Structure 1
Amino acid sequence: MPATSLADWLRSASDDELAALLQARRDLATPPPSDSTVLATRAGTAGSTARALEDLDTFTLAVLDAMLVAGADAEAVPAARIATLVGADPPPALSRLRGRAVVWGDEDALRVVPVTREIVGPFPAGLGASVPELADADLSEVSEDEHAVLSALAAGPPIGRSKDALTRVPLEDAKTPVQRLLARGLLLRRDAETVELPREVALILRGGRSCSPGALREPELPTHPHQQSTVDEAAAGEAAEFLRHMESLLAQWSEQPPPVLKSGGLGVRELRKLARELEVDDARATLLAELAVGAGLVADSGTTTPEWVPTTLTDSWLASAPGQRWIILAQAWLELPRLPGLAGQRDAKDKAMAPLSDDLRRPLAPVNRRRVLEALAGLPAGAGVRSVEELVTVLAWRAPRRGGRLRDETVRWTMAEASTLGVIALGALTRAIAALLEDDRSGALEAMVGAMPAPIDHVLVQADLTVVAPGPLEPELAAEIKTVADVESAGPATVYRITEHTVRRALDAGKTADELHGLFGKRSATPVPQALTYLIDDVARRHGRLRGGAAASFLRCDDEVLLAEVLGNPVAEEYELRKIAPTVLVSPVPLAEVLDGLRAAGFAPAAEGSDGRVLDLRPSGRRVPARTRNARRVLPEPGGANPEQIAQVIAHLRAGDRAASRRRGAEVRLPGGGGGSDTAATMALLARASREQREVWIGFVDSHGTASQRILTPAHVGGGMLLSTEDERYPLHRITSAALVED
């Protein structure tokens, strides 16, 4: 006998079919449904059904639309009727819909969850209201302009606005196409300015099909074949450039951290400044800032005037090899729950959304990002898409209901960001990111290191005081060159410029003239020009003649004897006091601490300001550290349910179905959880069932407060516990009712 309800159909499904359903729709298993009726009720809710439709392709949704057109939400329809409407064989789509419990029933009696019509909208398949008498309408007498109106509405949606619908006129008085169609009954008047095309007329114009031929099969995705090594090397070049820009960002923000906006995020002026200094566009600057924060290299300082400041992780990141640095950024991009592409766009209040602000937060961004990359991973090795728009079309066909209004833009942003980061090149996926998608970090690192050019250990010093690095330098050599020269132009071959200022900077960093001569003598593949030797010696000759030091406080006194007494006291050694003039002592310790130490030693010092007046340094009140703003936790995408957990849910479901279907005798109820004579009666009933090995029906409430029913055979009753013959344990205080099962 065919199932007449979704609950009956679920009740008759196999365990494997139920397991597949609970895997596809994880929300149905939480909390575990007590029986098939509860499961069917959950499966029929609008929210759950909408989620079940998100990953379905265009053809499957076209079949669902055809079922709604046929009225399968109200009565059973045969699969042959659906095949006629769609114009293709529907079993593959019906199998997917059945697997998600959106459709149920046999081939000759298919039904759809009623709430689906509410989710799809008032015009399934873009068809309007049904007027059965128009099923055989003759459109041969329709003029060309009238046919154009009908064809436009037949493509969907079936409603249109026209002032000609204001009044109904006879055919002989009709002057416009809309008036003539209304007079013939080929259009319906909804209100004074709205008309609707009847479903039957639209189907005639569509050739009897509810969907367009393009919905029946996935569009082709044209590709260009490339060698995988070519793709990897091209992406490695982009990755190296991105790493260079990230280094520059960290260096700039270390010296001049940009302020955090009051509403959070990075201001337009600061973004433009970053883009200008890095010589990149705003989109790349936004991605750099987002990944710097996403990777933990930059954070909000959390002070009273918060700034975006590099973190302690920056030093370890800069000290890492290029391949390892890229892995950190690529992993951060994959897991970034934000859409950098939204920066600069307007929100609902017509306000521009700022980088690093909460406006860009989208928890599903990592899922959608991986969806794009996995589509590329499905192509042959080295094959790249010819056009991003063609990829947009294919992914839109595969899941038209997923992603909302940003569905297509997310694909475009992902491809642009992936290309900038060196994740893809030539429209193809690299081996490194393919390994990272599989959580193989070592494989990803090996692939990226193999694709990047090998670091070189030499430079070319030119007569015009430029230094050319014909490739990526070894980390130690790169650090030394950056100390004594500025980058003039970057790229595959980086050009550095040596000036008097850069040489002085190297000497300030502790380098000596001999060390600089040795650096260029050993590392330059070309002879060191004499002009460079003269420049280093000339700057070194003048460097350091005037020296400065740091002091946190000073002591001055016109009495040199008193200062000598202070220097002779142990307090001078404790606070590192030293004489720099006959009447002046300095200390690296703050003045307040020095004065307290001197007073404890028996002296009577006083503090003075820059104008010579005495200052009061006593504490002005209790102080507490500034609180940092807690980062919002990113919750990962829930994975597939554990097979063991699903098996337990199904066992729970089956037990509830058995309990609901078996006849039972006189029932003992325990009001309010039992007690008194009710408990004694329950114990007696369960003990009798245990002695006679009879099945008993029980109702109980689990630890989560969920009520359910069970059919079991008691093996032992005692110690506050009921033990079944299947080794299941039920606390007696949770049993709310019990009855013997009638034979």
Structure 2
Amino acid sequence: MSAIRALADELARRSDDELRRLLAVRPDLILPPVPDFAALAARASTRASLQRALDNLTRPQLQVLEAIVVLSEDDGGPIAYERLLSAFATADRPGLDAIVAELGHRALVIGTVPQELLPVGALADALGPYPAGLGRPFRTLARSIPRFGPALVDAVRLVVDGLDTEAMNSASAAPALDRALADPLTWSRVMTDAPEGAAMLLSRLRDAPVGSTSTGGDGGASPAVRWLLERCLLAPLDALHVELPRGVGRALRGHAVHTALETVPPVAVGRTVSARVRDNAAFGAIAETLRLMTALLGSAAGTPVATLRSGGVGVRELRRLREVLRTTDAEAAWLLELAAAVGLLSLDPDDSRWKASRLDAWEALDREAQWLLLVEGWLSVDRAPALVGSRMPDGTAVNALAAEASRPDAPMVRQRLLAAALELSSTAGTSHEAAGRPGGARTGPGDDGEAGDVPVLTDESVIALATWHQPRLHRRFARLLPGMLVEAALLGLTGGGALTLAGRLVAEGRFEDASRAVGEALPAPVAHVVLQADLTAVAPGYLQPEVARGLLRLSTPEGQGPATTYRFSAESIRSALDLGEDASSILGFLRTHSVTEIPQALSYLVEDTASRYGSLRVGRAGSYLHTEDDAVIATVLADPRAASLGVNRIAPTVLVAPASPQELVALLRSLGFSPASDAVVGIGAVTERSEPVPAARVPPEQLRSRLNPWSVAEEEISAQLTALRSARAGAPDAAAASDSETLVSLETLRSAIRSRSRIRLGTADSEGNHVRQVLVPLSVSGGRLRVFDPEKQVEKVVSVHRVMDVEILEGSPSDG
């Protein structure tokens, strides 16, 4: 029976609760819904669905699945449970039982512990050519490498004593060599005679079967390599690369697929840090991040952030922001990315510059609300700011806010980071408590304790634990997690390398509790400064937004951190006067918010600068009117519409207005005059550019991402179960049956490709006729089947949608 049909029958026998559990862990199976169990089994057997399922398996689950696939390929069919148990040098039987049951629940394996086990559908293809880090079997290598097949017979003669090899060919030599190497005594005897360096070379390939070494027969290969090639303990891929056959790899692992079943996650933590040091570092980072974000938005409000033609913010602009914020390039890039993620910066399409779109709304928020907005945006943004500055394959650097920093998997990786940090901290805390060490016990889900030591999260420990939970994602974890740990520290989710109370609450999904905890921990902002005789003001802490905003109008900040120094100068006072202030309002603000008297030098500076301000007046004129007729000027000024256009008389014969020349001409013509325009179309007209429309804040429930981006609601699962049970009781759906038959045919083709067997292939020609041919399938991908025609001795390609039926012919595998 086909594996797909067997899976369909097994799924139909499941209870509703078991099906709900399956669809909860593999929601893509019903996106979109399927009409019956045959279609459900067919979709569960596809390579795309299986790859999604494999990405969410833990290391021991993946180890067991790899062992089942390897053994079923070697045995050519289902495997017994005892055979699976022998695939591990050391294995916990109860743990193995639980893992096999879980793989069965996930529809990755057909069968249960007392029965034979069979991998589902295209699982071997989804795992790739080297499952469990083992090479290909001898029989597969013999078909792929022309000179390797004949060498197998000679290898059997050298490895196996007393075996008649006269009538042996490559097809019979492969299983004979497999059996010989599976015998510990034979393997020990063979390696006893190995030359120096052979054992070391094999050990290097034990976990990665393809390696680089010279295989030349003209003296280029070392004696150890030649000895291994003669006995087919290595397979030559080309002049510089070799592959370790599967049988040799298993022998090196103690004749097992895996040396051990790793059921225990790596949660060991080495260093610890004081809880008080952690909290001080975290709260300082939070306050500094909020200050820098406010400074960034203030800078962007005055000078929008320019972009490159190719997209993103260039190195020069990033350097300018770094100098404004007095921080590093990496932190400036991260702040830019974060501000854009939460809508505090928006891109103006008219001039391709990033502008502050919600500065007033940002400053009106409490600091804990500001922090929560940034945390939610960080968790949800599908970008990796830590990649900014890194090099792409073509040698160019990744720019901030450029498309190259986009990573759709970034939210999932951040959630995995928090989950790993929570698990490491909780497990380490439990072990500390058991060992009688302080700082390990927690009295509640959000209580970190006020004293003692807490475990430090290193890049290596977080990557190791995240990889244990999702081993197939190791490369992306290794690339993204170190930078995300730095970002988590800037947001106060960690402090001194340890998970904070706020970080734990965010990891548990308790965002509002985390916000309250941050609000209670941060010191209250101050509303006063200390004015000094050297024309500076010192802030004794983080200032209230309106006070900080007022000081920025009057002075220039120096330094960074909570105790910022603001310096007054003639230029800074003139800037305040340009914004509409005068001497009395400036001095009034300083008296209100200073705990000391205003120094005489500062009073003189303000009053002297204000007294000299305004002797020259500069304004904006979009159009002018020049005439020698006083009656015309009087008529225009008397019209009420002139006031709405802002018309002013600046000389006896000249009027100016901020309105455009076209608007002023329209007014004059409505009064009965016939003016001549000096303006050239497109030049001289000054128009106000509207500010970008503030982006609406995304609700928090939409910002919070999930570990699995595929999700279905309970109502969808219930509707799907009803449809499945109804289809089981009624007539089968013709379209669904056609889809499942197509996948059964693909399954048969893949089986024939692996065994290189001849098939009788039925296809529909261009006129709709059913044509049957005896062929040898070579590969199938992208909707195309590549086959070899042994009668005509040619290769050809057949579209999969034309395949009507497939039958594997009995007999020995083809040598075509």
Q: Shorter-chain TM-score: which interval?
A: 0.7 to 0.9
Equivalent residue of 1:70, what SS? helix
Residues 356-365 or 600-609, more deviating: 600-609
* Counterpart residue number, 1:125: 132
* Counterpart residue number, 2:9: 8
Between the aligned residues of both structures, percent identity stands at 36
Structure 2 residue identity aligned to 1:95: A
Alignment of 1:88 with 2:91, yes or no, is: yes
Note the alpha carbon deviations across 1:57-109, whole angstroms, 9 max, x for none. Answer: 11111111221222268422122222222221212321221121111213241
What is the distance in 1 between the residues matched to 2:414 and 2:592? 47
Note the alpha carbon deviations across 1:517-572, whole angstroms, 9 max, x for none. Answer: 33333432334332222222322332334444444333233343543454455665
* Counterpart residue number, 2:40: 39
Contact 2:622/2:657 (8 A) holds in 1: yes
Structure 1 residue identity aligned to 2:468: W
* Counterpart residue number, 1:160: 211
What is the distance in 2 between the residues matched to 1:461 and 1:247? 23
* Aligned partner of 2:111 among 85, 105, 114: 105
Equivalent residue of 1:163, what SS? coil
* Counterpart residue number, 2:282: 235
Cα distance, 1:188–1:550 mapped onto 2, change above 3 Å = closer
Structure 1 residue identity aligned to 2:85: A
Residues 492-501 or 581-590, more deviating: 581-590
What is the distance in 1 between the residues matched to 2:733 and 2:100? 38
**1:349, distance to aligned residue in structure 2 (A):** 4.5
**1:226, distance to aligned residue in structure 2 (A):** 5.8
Structure 2 residue identity aligned to 1:113: V
* Counterpart residue number, 1:24: 25
* Aligned partner of 2:370 among 311, 325, 330: 325
* Counterpart residue number, 1:150: 202
**1:415, distance to aligned residue in structure 2 (A):** 0.8
**1:228, distance to aligned residue in structure 2 (A):** 6.1
* Counterpart residue number, 2:181: 134
* Aligned partner of 1:589 among 656, 659, 663: 659
**1:237, distance to aligned residue in structure 2 (A):** 1.7
* Counterpart residue number, 2:123: 116
* Counterpart residue number, 1:512: 582
How many residues align structurally?
649
Alignment of 1:285 with 2:332, yes or no, is: yes
Contact 1:221/1:394 (8 A) holds in 2: no
Note the alpha carbon deviations across 1:254-309, whole angstroms, 9 max, x for none. Answer: 33323333332222322233223323222212211212221112222112x42222
Cα distance, 1:158–1:223 mapped onto 2, change above 3 Å = closer
Residues 321-330 or 96-105, more deviating: 321-330
Contact 2:104/2:112 (8 A) holds in 1: no
* Counterpart residue number, 2:672: 602
Cα distance, 1:702–1:193 mapped onto 2, change above 3 Å = closer
What is the distance in 2 between the residues matched to 1:422 and 1:315? 24
Contact 2:297/2:356 (8 A) holds in 1: yes
Contact 1:385/1:391 (8 A) holds in 2: no
- Where do 1:407-556 residues align within 5 Å? 407-436=477-506, 440-556=510-626
**1:176, distance to aligned residue in structure 2 (A):** 0.7
RMSD: 3.7
TM-score of the superposed pair, with normalisation by structure 2 = 0.72
**1:229, distance to aligned residue in structure 2 (A):** 6.7
Structure 1 residue identity aligned to 2:497: G
Note the alpha carbon deviations across 1:422-463, whole angstroms, 9 max, x for none. Answer: 332222334445445566554333222222221112211222
Contact 1:340/1:360 (8 A) holds in 2: yes
Structure 1 residue identity aligned to 2:630: E
What is the distance in 2 between the residues matched to 1:586 and 1:506? 27
Gaps (5+ residues) in structure 2? Answer: 139-177, 427-446, 449-453, 742-816
- Where do 1:171-182 residues align within 5 Å? 176-182=223-229
Note the alpha carbon deviations across 1:194-236, whole angstroms, 9 max, x for none. Answer: 4443434333332233224484532223165667676454323
Cα distance, 1:550–1:641 mapped onto 2, change above 3 Å = closer
Equivalent residue of 1:300, what SS? strand
What is the distance in 2 between the residues matched to 1:423 and 1:357? 26
Alignment of 1:390 with 2:391, yes or no, is: no
Cα distance, 1:106–1:557 mapped onto 2, change above 3 Å = closer
Cα distance, 1:36–1:601 mapped onto 2, change above 3 Å = closer
Structure number with greater CO (CA < 8 Å, separation at least 6) is 2
What is the distance in 1 between the residues matched to 2:85 and 2:285? 50
* Counterpart residue number, 1:363: 408
Structure 1 residue identity aligned to 2:560: A
Contact 1:463/1:531 (8 A) holds in 2: yes
What is the distance in 2 between the residues matched to 1:51 and 1:234? 39
Cα distance, 1:518–1:214 mapped onto 2, change above 3 Å = farther
* Counterpart residue number, 2:718: 647
Cα distance, 1:59–1:168 mapped onto 2, change above 3 Å = farther
What is the distance in 2 between the residues matched to 1:242 and 1:358? 25
Contact 2:555/2:572 (8 A) holds in 1: yes
The structure with more radius of gyration = 1
What is the distance in 1 between the residues matched to 2:683 and 2:255? 92
**1:52, distance to aligned residue in structure 2 (A):** 0.7
Contact 1:165/1:194 (8 A) holds in 2: no
* Counterpart residue number, 1:673: none
Cα distance, 1:175–1:706 mapped onto 2, change above 3 Å = closer
What is the distance in 2 between the residues matched to 1:183 and 1:616? 86
What is the distance in 2 between the residues matched to 1:524 and 1:242? 26
* Counterpart residue number, 2:175: none
Contact 1:165/1:178 (8 A) holds in 2: no
Residues 483-492 or 599-608, more deviating: 599-608
* Counterpart residue number, 2:752: none
Structure 2 residue identity aligned to 1:112: P
What is the distance in 1 between the residues matched to 2:347 and 2:605? 43
Contact 1:576/1:587 (8 A) holds in 2: yes
**1:348, distance to aligned residue in structure 2 (A):** 4.9
* Counterpart residue number, 1:274: 321
* Counterpart residue number, 2:251: 204
Cα distance, 1:31–1:518 mapped onto 2, change above 3 Å = closer
What is the distance in 1 between the residues matched to 2:102 and 2:335? 41
Cα distance, 1:427–1:605 mapped onto 2, change above 3 Å = same
Equivalent residue of 2:197, what SS? helix
Cα distance, 1:503–1:340 mapped onto 2, change above 3 Å = same
Cα distance, 1:604–1:68 mapped onto 2, change above 3 Å = closer
What is the distance in 1 between the residues matched to 2:681 and 2:251? 95
Structure 2 residue identity aligned to 1:457: A
Contact 1:168/1:183 (8 A) holds in 2: no
Cα distance, 1:34–1:607 mapped onto 2, change above 3 Å = closer
